[in-house]
């Protein structure tokens, strides 16, 4: 089996409302869908979406990168995933979302050829996982109302965006905790918005409010700051923007800087690299969360299959598709009941795409 063609196109994803975080805001969204076909006629679909203030990519740079990469990949065996990543990495540095799109499509092909859904191809037995839902930055009153709506939809885990104004961050969490009660799981994501010194003070207050993890409190480059915060923190510290690659994960665990790593397929280059990061974390006693950017059902299906296949993932943060109107061009992959994503039993991703 060899790769015959690789194609890519833009798909518009219509947001229900803007998404606001500490380091930027998203008002509209396009993604890149990649179609890989083998000489035997097996087709796999993948997705790449860049967030400029996180990965530095746009849909146009992803399209360009896929165009460069395909010239090196046509004729290769789609099952030779380690070799394919080596070829992609020596052809282009960075461009993780473009590589993720190709990687996901190849895993879709592998599942279809093996006649297995992706979660089983990855070694899993569970066919479902639970995601949180995110409260975006707003006034404390707005954030509390959003949290109540989330709980009303049956969610047990809420991720709260923070990092613009520390006192408002604490006040928002206080109000949310009072509103939702003691049994809802709360995580805070500061998106690099605090200093190391401020983080200690804020985290102490968050601990009193029953917050169970704080994500990326300081700038991505400040690994020493993360390690300092972790040494003083009464609750687990999670890295996000500080970890793009397996090498980043190795640095984080070597410095004892984190309790949890947030892996995102678009940051690391797809499922293959995500599996490597999870292995590094697990062998060093660090747990993982699988997060997302603003992906469609294609990448969310891949991420959900990964979470379902590996017990070291204690959290799923795969909520981006809740912010879009359903796209008629992209269907399947999973069904959703409240916070639970039940994976398709169709082979591969179980995704249907009008390409």
pLDDT of residue 22: 61
Pair (103, 147) in one structural domain: no
pLDDT of residue 17: 75
Pair (230, 128) in one structural domain: yes
| Per-residue pLDDT tens over the stretch 136-157 | 999 999 999 999 999 999 999 9
- CB 85 within 8 Å of CB 75: no
| Catalytic positions | 161, 189, 215, 240, 264
The candidate with the shortest Cα–Cα distance to 8, out of 36, 38, 34, is 34
CATH of the domain at 25: 3.30.390.10
Instruction: pLDDT tens for the chain, 355 residues: list them.
Output: 999 999 999 999 888 877 766 666 666 689 999 999 999 999 999 999 988 888 999 999 999 999 999 999 999 999 999 999 999 999 999 999 999 999 999 999 999 999 999 999 999 999 999 999 999 999 999 999 999 999 999 999 999 999 988 889 999 999 999 999 999 999 999 999 999 999 999 999 999 999 999 999 999 999 999 999 999 999 999 999 999 999 999 999 999 999 999 999 999 999 999 999 999 999 999 999 999 999 999 999 999 999 999 999 999 999 999 988 888 899 999 999 999 999 999 999 999 999 9
Domain stops at, among 97, 116, 135:
116
Pair (272, 217) in one structural domain: yes
pLDDT of residue 50: 85
- CB 211 within 8 Å of CB 240: no
User: How far from chain centre, in Å, is Cα 157?
Assistant: 16
The candidate with the shortest Cα–Cα distance to 252, out of 280, 275, 274, 211, is 280
pLDDT of residue 57: 95
Domain total for the chain? 2
HSE toward the beta carbon, residue 184, CA cutoff 13 A:
27
Residue with tokens 């912010």: 323
Pair (218, 267) in one structural domain: yes
Pair (198, 319) in one structural domain: yes
Name residues whose C-beta falls within 8 Å of residue 152's C-beta, 6 or more positions apart in sequence: none
Full residue range of the structural domain in which residue 37 is found: 3-116
Pair (109, 211) in one structural domain: no
Pair (84, 207) in one structural domain: no
pLDDT of residue 206: 97
pLDDT of residue 25: 67
What residues form DSSP beta bridges with 352? 331
pTM of the predicted protein model: 0.95
Pair (107, 126) in one structural domain: no
């Amino acid at each position: 089996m060899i790769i015959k063609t690789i194609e890519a196109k833009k798909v518009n994803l219509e947001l229900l409302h803007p998404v606001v975080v500490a380091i930027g805001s998203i008002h509209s969204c396009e993604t890149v869908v990649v179609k890989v076909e083998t000489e035997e006629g097996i087709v796999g679909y993948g997705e790449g979406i860049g967030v400029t203030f996180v990965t530095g990519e746009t849909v146009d740079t992803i399209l360009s990168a896929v165009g460069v990469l395909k010239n090196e990949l046509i004729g290769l065996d789609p099952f030779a995933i380690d070799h394919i990543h080596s070829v992609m990495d020596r052809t282009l540095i960075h461009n993780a979302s473009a590589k993720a799109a190709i990687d996901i499509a190849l895993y879709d092909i592998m599942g279809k050829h093996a006649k297995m859904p992706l979660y089983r191809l990855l070694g899993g037995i569970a066919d479902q996982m639970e995601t949180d839902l995110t409260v975006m930055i707003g006034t404390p009153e707005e954030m509390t109302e959003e949290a109540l709506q989330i709980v009303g939809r049956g969610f047990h885990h809420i991720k709260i965006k923070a990092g613009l104004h520390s006192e408002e961050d604490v006040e928002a969490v206080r109000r949310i905790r009072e509103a939702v009660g003691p049994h809802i799981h709360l995580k805070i994501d500061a998106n690099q918005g605090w200093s190391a010194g401020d983080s200690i003070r804020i985290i102490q207050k968050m601990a009193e409010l029953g917050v169970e993890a704080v994500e990326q409190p300081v700038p991505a480059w400040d690994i020493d700051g993360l390690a300092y915060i972790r040494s003083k923190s009464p609750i687990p510290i999670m890295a996000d923007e500080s970890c793009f690659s397996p090498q980043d994960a190795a640095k984080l665990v070597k410095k004892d800087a984190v309790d949890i790593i947030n892996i995102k397929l678009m940051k690391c280059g797809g499922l293959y690299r995500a599996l490597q990061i999870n292995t590094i974390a697990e062998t060093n006693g660090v747990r993982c969360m699988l997060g997302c950017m603003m992906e469609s059902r294609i990448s969310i299906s891949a991420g959900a299959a990964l979470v379902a296949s590996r017990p070291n993932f204690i959290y799923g943060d795969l909520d981006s598709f809740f912010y879009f109107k359903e796209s008629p061009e992209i269907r399947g992959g999973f069904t959703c009941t409240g916070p639970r994503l039940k994976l398709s039993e169709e082979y591969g991703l179980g995704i249907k795409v009008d390409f």
